[in-house]
Amino acid sequence: MKRIFLALLFILLTLAGSPANAEIEALFSTEVNIHEALLKEIETLSETLDLALYEITSADLVQALVRAKARGVRIRVITDSKQARIKSSRVNVLIKRGISVKTLGGKEKGAMNHRFAILDGRRVITGSYDWSESSGRGDYESILIIRDNELADSYQKEFERLWREKRTIK
């Protein structure tokens, strides 16, 4: 698992173009509480948060997003269309609180399996961790928190491409 993670880290550093300028933090669920780390990152937001997530069922993370929106942070979420319809999904809470949500996937495209966030256009969080109630409860999970403008721009371009082509849930 660590070998795969290190290969992913190498690829990300290569894509960033300037690894010497990137600030990278690798978090493993066996060493730290990733859920708490995500909550802290959300609390530091000041401008924008774009999320591409397979699922979002964590009540704590959703409430942190709602609080960030109340502080004036612009939040957009893309999630898997099938996962958005499951009973434990918190997508409807986000929508009711005025957060824009779109879905991806279905019969024509397969699952929307991304797990990344772009924070204030300058930081990227990516990894295996789902924003779900069950993630981190005994599972082996990891995330990277990367502070690199070029890498954030690459992820932002992918997010914008996905955002343009998908539908809004009403």
Residue 127 included in any domain: yes
Residue 94 included in any domain: yes
Residue 15 included in any domain: no
- Alpha helix locations (H) across 44-168? 59-70, 81-84, 91-96, 149-165
Q: What is the pLDDT of residue 170?
A: 46
Residue 14 included in any domain: no
Tokens of 2: 């660590």
- Which residue range forms the structural domain that includes residue 108? 25-168
Residue 92 included in any domain: yes
The ranges of the chain with pLDDT < 70 are: 1-20, 106-108, 136, 166-170
Task: Give φ, ψ of 80 to 5 degrees.
Answer: -70, 135
Q: What's the domain count of the chain?
A: 1
Tokens of 24: 């990278």
CATH number at residue 119: 3.30.870.10
Tokens of 119: 């924070």
Residue 6 included in any domain: no
Residue 1 included in any domain: no
**Which pTM was predicted?**
0.84
Residue 143: C-alpha distances to residues 31, 119, 128 (Å): 12, 14, 6
Assess contact for 76 and 50: CB atoms under 8 A: yes
Residue 147 included in any domain: yes
DSSP structure class, residue 119: E
Q: What is the pLDDT of residue 89?
A: 79
CA 38 to chain centre: 9
